[in-house]
Amino acid sequence: MAVAMTLHTSRLLLRPFEPADAEAVHHLAGSRDVAAGTFLPHPMDRQAAHDWVTGRLTDQSAGTSVTFAVTLAESGQVIGSIGLELVLAHEQGRLSYWLGKTYWNRGYGTEAVRALLDYGFTSLKLHRIYAPHFHTNPASGRVLQKVGMTHEGRLREHYLRFGTRIDVEMYGLLRQEFIACRPVIDGEPPPRES
């Protein structure tokens, strides 16, 4: 499996996580507001953050997922994470992402998801990429709509998070749809890999 070292977008650089990123993960993903839309461990103390980063690196070596640290291209600051859980036998990937709360609502999530879709379909040659999001997390749904994914349905009371049963909205995109829609959904040139 080809794993890109970095993906470049206009404002972001997506690169593999390093163990030293655990401190940033602790600070960013330690927020309950960030955790509420995800299955990140919570509370995310330093050890949990270290274990989370190590787990991503282990899964990546095993070829079961690929995860990028989302960083600001200008400063190198880590602001979040984005990745694909892979089932290569079915040529599919499950998208997941989070950003530190300070960085929300500036278009970074959409920019990172666009880059991952391009990477998944172009480099990994996936046939389908899908993304579940909690019904209680409309910002995530909006990101998936903005990149051209299709709402495929709702899984009722599918997950239990912080003691509450949560409906899950499912979004998906097929390779042929991505290729057909790419000129429309790309507000900018495709990400550059290096």
Ligand X SMILES: CC(C)(COP(=O)(O)OP(=O)(O)OC[C@H]1O[C@@H](n2cnc3c(N)ncnc32)[C@H](O)[C@@H]1OP(=O)(O)O)[C@@H](O)C(=O)NCCC(=O)NCCS
Q: And the tokens for 84? A: 């694909």
Based on the shown chain and the rule CB under 6 A, indicate whether residue 34 belongs to the binding site for ligand X. yes
Contact predicate 22/53, CB 8 Å: yes
Q: Which is nearer to ligand X, 28 or 86 (CB)?
A: 28
Based on the shown chain and the rule CB under 6 A, indicate whether residue 12 belongs to the binding site for ligand X. no
Q: And the tokens for 10? A: 């206009």
Based on the shown chain and the rule CB under 6 A, indicate whether residue 188 belongs to the binding site for ligand X. no
Based on the shown chain and the rule CB under 6 A, indicate whether residue 140 belongs to the binding site for ligand X. yes
Based on the shown chain and the rule CB under 6 A, indicate whether residue 108 belongs to the binding site for ligand X. yes
Based on the shown chain and the rule CB under 6 A, indicate whether residue 104 belongs to the binding site for ligand X. yes
Min. distance of Cβ 171 from ligand X in angstroms?
Answer: 9
Strands ordered across the beta sheet of 65-72: 150-161, 164-174, 128-134, 92-99, 78-87, 65-72, 12-16, 7-8, 192-193
Contact predicate 56/83, CB 8 Å: yes
- Binding test (CB under 6 A) with ligand X, winner from 38, 60, 65, 71: 38
Q: Which is nearer to ligand X, 97 or 178 (CB)?
A: 97
Contact predicate 133/38, CB 8 Å: no
Based on the shown chain and the rule CB under 6 A, indicate whether residue 5 belongs to the binding site for ligand X. no
Nearest Cα to Cα of residue 133 among 59, 36, 31: 36
Q: Could you give the angle at which helices 46-62 and 22-29 cross, rounded to 10 degrees?
A: 120
Number of residues forming the site for ligand X (CB under 6 A): 21
Based on the shown chain and the rule CB under 6 A, indicate whether residue 37 belongs to the binding site for ligand X. yes
- Binding test (CB under 6 A) with ligand X, winner from 16, 41, 55, 107: 107
- Binding test (CB under 6 A) with ligand X, winner from 4, 7, 69, 143: 143
User: Which listed range, 18-26, 83-91, 92-100, 115-123, lies at the site for ligand X (CB under 6 A)?
Assistant: 92-100
Query: How many CB atoms sit inside 10 A of residue 179's CB?
Result: 11
In the complex, the residues that contact ligand X under the rule CB under 6 A are 34, 37-38, 96-99, 104-110, 133, 137-140, 142-143
